[in-house]
Chains A and B, each alone.
Chain A
């Protein structure tokens, strides 16, 4: 108990201290968070009418970000898996950082769920015992289940590891290792179930194909590690903590091939859908070329294609891949490309045309953009705190008994 109190206070004190850069970063995030809180209040007093969503297109930016961030959360497994299954030395050192990323991503997902719901005040209706849980029929029920489980698993694994490092004890492998292996499989499950969430609706032909889960996982294992690489490079440049080259290089390899697979799957979908060009391909056709003169998403789609293809080519070039000064460029491009492809580029055209053939468009409002930005800011806020604390412990700067 004594140890727990001192852990909490040491941890808090450490993460609150920082230089000007740190405070400037956290301060600007805080401004966005305040803005987010205001528009969330607005949305819950005025209703969803302040968003661009309609009865035709009723999932928008929020749902798109939710889907994407589940992928980022699952992407953490690209660190955990090589570390514990292949005993990769460089990865092993930084596993806990991946777990911290997963925790913040799942928190963001939860916040997007709140943003998406029409009645967030009734979320308790889903809780077991006091509410009703449509289990096992509802895919959304499954999704909530696996996401919560993933959050808990990562929190336990990550903070147990940090705790042991802090107190200077030994890791209890009998307790720890099974959890790690479960969390690896669990990471796959969260994104599979999220794919099932939308791919099990025959009413939406654009989503109704069995390629969805594998495509989700491929893009997740490209976007997630991209963000991790960026975070690692920031950490290397701004802290005394050194992330091994081997860890970054392995992540780059994973990104490259997952990105390649993702592009291949996109191409397969385009060929299959557009070769026959039935009415069921209208959604994809709208996305790529527009439908009935409505072309809102066309630049998004081609933007995503360019970003992904160019970044894939850049990743293939060794002199760029291995140059850590240039590496952030393809990483950012791939991350942005996948964000579009799996977010706006997947969710919105699923509703165009509607099941009765109505072609409408979706324009996200300022409220939606600010709320989305604010939730991302909140996620980065949490991520910064978690990473900072974790690095402090890994570095031995926070240690039991070290504090005065």
Chain B
């Protein structure tokens, strides 16, 4: 059942233009005492070329990782960075990750494309609860996969719902207990209530006879409560729809986790456990790049894929085609067609978060 998927379709040569621009000057590497802004002001753009040489030399040294971390401590919020600063931050990260994981890691910084508003639709009739999406997501997005509690992070939950809440043999189980006044409906096991870890079920075969499945993950709300409560604006809605996090700016206050009605967010309680050989080297700055201890993470609709016209990993892996993804602004896209023709609903629509993740059934 476990899917080992290491997508390589977006290799290093596909760097977007932003990467090839110079500005690889890494003042953090050459002069850790000076703040980047002062340095750029003082040195100006003239010295950039000579700095590039210095930086290149410096990066060969063993303490590249230390220097990169030092630089990361003082970088700005991603949204406020200039293109040059973004390129610089990206290089710094690529260098650190490559050294840390022993392979060429790319950190994509592709921006939202105009005319795109991502949308997602899931056919709950079709879902068989195989949880391949969960595993594909973990492999694609570099989640922590340790064994201690709190070290294992999954962004997708497939909630297993028992079928037969209203079946004949449960007639007497209603409220009040034993008297069978109510036909079905059980006040003691309300639908939608799961016990701890119930989405970690491991059946012999799927679909199970007595179960239905409800996969959930981040709903990428148009009016996200998590964004509103963030005190440092580290999480925000990107122009093409997904709600993203600048992991380097997050202070770990966990207000967003409290505000999310879909329990989509996870906190990295410790440094993520990410084995070198399992690490996915094709990353996006706002997406699946390895996270650090103490920051919050969540589904971002595989920005490293979807910004390059690929499906998210969960869509690609789904064996029954229950998951659909596309551009809501394009009337010909699969998602637009589904919204137009199928019976569609949103989860917890009464909270006015306006998810772009839709459920439908045939």
Interface residue tally on A, bucketed by range: 35 or more
A351 CA to B260 CA in the complex, in Å?
A: 11
Q: What residues of chain A lie closer than 8 Å to B260, measured between beta carbons?
A: 203, 355
Q: How far is the CB of A67 from chain B (nearest CB, A)?
A: 13
Contact B293 A118 (CB under 8 A): yes
Q: Decide yes or no whether A172 CB sits under 8 A from chain B.
A: no
A358 to B151, CA, bound (A): 18
Residues in A whose Cβ lies below 8 Å from that of B261: 202-203, 355
A173-213: contact bitstring with B at CB < 8 Å (1 yes, 0 no)?
Answer: 00000000000000000000000011011111000000000
Contact of A134 among B193, B230, B259, B268 (CB under 8 A): B230
Among B250, B267, B270, the residue within 8 A (CB) of A58 is B267
Q: Which of A48, A137, A357 contacts B193 (CB 8 A)?
A: A357
Q: Which residues of chain A have C-beta atoms less than 8 A from B262's C-beta?
A: 203, 355-356
- Inter-chain contact B269/A48, CB cutoff 8 Å: yes
How distant is the Cα of A59 from the Cα of B255 in the complex, in angstroms? 9
In the complex, which residues of chain B have a beta carbon less than 8 angstroms from the beta carbon of A56?
Answer: 196, 263
Contacts of B153 in A (CB 8 A): 55
Which one of A11-19, A120-128, A218-226 is at the interface? A120-128
- Chain A residue at minimum C-beta to C-beta distance from B73: A121
Per-residue CB contact flags for chain A residues 42-65 toward chain B (1 = under 8 Å, else 0) read: 000011110101111011000000
Which residues in B have their C-beta under 8 angstroms from that of A139?
A: 229, 255
Say whether A359 contacts B193, CB under 8 Å: yes
Cβ A118 vs Cβ B232 within 8 A: no
Contact A117 B252 (CB under 8 A): yes
Q: How far is the CB of A122 from chain B (nearest CB, A)?
A: 5
B179 interfacial contact with A, CB 8 Å: no
Shortest distance in angstroms between B45's beta carbon and chain A's nearest beta carbon?
24
- The reply on B77 being an interface residue by CB < 8 A is yes
- Complex: how many Å from CA A381 to CA B319? 63
- Whether A140 sits at the interface, judged by CB under 8 Å, is yes
B173 at the interface (CB under 8 A from A): no
Closest A residue to B151 by beta carbon equals A49
CB B297 to nearest CB in A, in angstroms, measures 10
Pairs across A and B, CB under 8 Å, 14 listed: A48-B150, A53-B269, A56-B263, A58-B267, A118-B251, A118-B294, A118-B295, A119-B252, A125-B232, A137-B229, A140-B255, A203-B259, A279-B193, A359-B195
Which residues of A are in contact with B by a Cβ distance under 8 Å?
Answer: 46-49, 51, 53-56, 58-59, 116-123, 125-126, 131-134, 137-141, 144, 197-198, 200-204, 279, 282, 292, 350-351, 353-360
User: Footprint of A on B, CB under 8 Å?
Assistant: 73, 77, 80, 148-151, 153, 157, 159, 190, 192-198, 216, 225, 228-234, 249-255, 257-263, 265-271, 293-296, 351
